[in-house]
Amino acid sequence: MKNRRYCSLECRQRLKSQLNIRTGLLKALNARYATFYFNSSEIILDILTRDSMDICSFIFPRVPGKKPVDDFIRLSTHLGKAWWSEKRRTDKRYLANRVVLDKAGKRSQERGIPFPGEITAPVHVKNDLICLRLSRGDLESSHAPAQIKSAYRRMAKQHHPDQGGDSVKFRKIHEAYQRLVEWSKTPVFIKRRGFVDKWFYDGNRNKWVQPLPK
């Protein structure tokens, strides 16, 4: 969050919701991948279709005082209207696609966005990691059980009631430790593809995912 200019967690969640609701145009354009990102003055939607090696880049100016999700809605509505207008006029999907893609700047893939990277993340333990001040990398180590135990001892020493700590906090630490110990017996990981600084759309899944952590 600190490296991305969202006004709040709710703002980021609303953007994710709108990105996933408005995937119809990407499907119509036969998008293989797409990325969405923004700065203080522009929003950028890059699309790589399945039948081209050129990246189509739609760059729209930000509206002062508006949130990124509002600017994205404006962009997607504009492109969607252009697509449907040509589709109704000609009844040809490929002509509607051409009208929309002609609105974009083109650049060679070699000089544009790379293929998405991939990270591995443990499943269902994020809050427990935070509670014990562990990282995802600690669980990827072959010494994960020892790392968990060491973190628990360190946190328990700080928050044990006999040492003047808070009993509620200590109970949460102990419960997090127990869950992580159980997880370490049969660890489960998921793989995520994407980019560090951009929202990523995978045409095979028809779904947007948020930027990967650095």
Question: Based on the domain organization, do 50 and 154 belong to the same domain?
Answer: no
The answer on 65 and 169 residing in a single domain is: no
- 175: domain CATH number is 1.10.287
The answer as to whether 16 is a domain residue is yes
**75 and 40 in a common domain:** yes
Q: What is the pLDDT of residue 110?
A: 55
62 inside domain: yes
β-pair partners for 34: 47, 201
Output the pLDDT for position 167: 87
- Whether residue 1 is contained in a domain is answered as no
pLDDT in tens, 99-144: 999 999 876 655 555 667 776 777 778 888 889 998 877 887 778 8
Same domain, yes or no: 79 and 147: no
- Evaluate whether residue 4 is within a structural domain: no
Regarding pTM above 0.85, the answer is: no
> In terms of pLDDT, which residue wins out, 7 or 53?
53
- Based on the fold, state whether residues 201 and 103 are members of the same structural domain: yes
Q: Is residue 70 part of a domain?
A: yes
- Say if residue 59 is in the same domain as residue 139: no
Q: If 0-12 CB within 10 Å is exposed, 13-18 middle and 19+ buried, where does residue 31 land?
A: buried
The DSSP annotation for 74-134 comes to HHHHHHHHHHHHHHHHH--HHHHHHHHHTTSEEEEGGGS----EEEEEESS-HHHHHHHT-
Q: Are residues 39 and 110 in the same domain?
A: yes
Q: Do residue 113 and residue 151 come from a single domain?
A: no
Co-location of 201 and 99 in the same domain? yes
Same domain, 81 and 55: yes
pLDDT digits (tens, 9 = 90+) for 150-203: 999 999 888 888 888 888 989 999 999 999 999 888 888 777 778 888 999 999
Residue-range definition of the domain harbouring residue 153:
124-187
What is the rounded average pLDDT of the residues 32-40? Answer: 92
SS3 29: coil
Within a domain: residue 214? Answer: no
**Within-domain flag for 2:** no
* The pLDDT value given to residue 125: 84
Q: Percentage of residues in the chain with pLDDT exceeding 90? A: 51
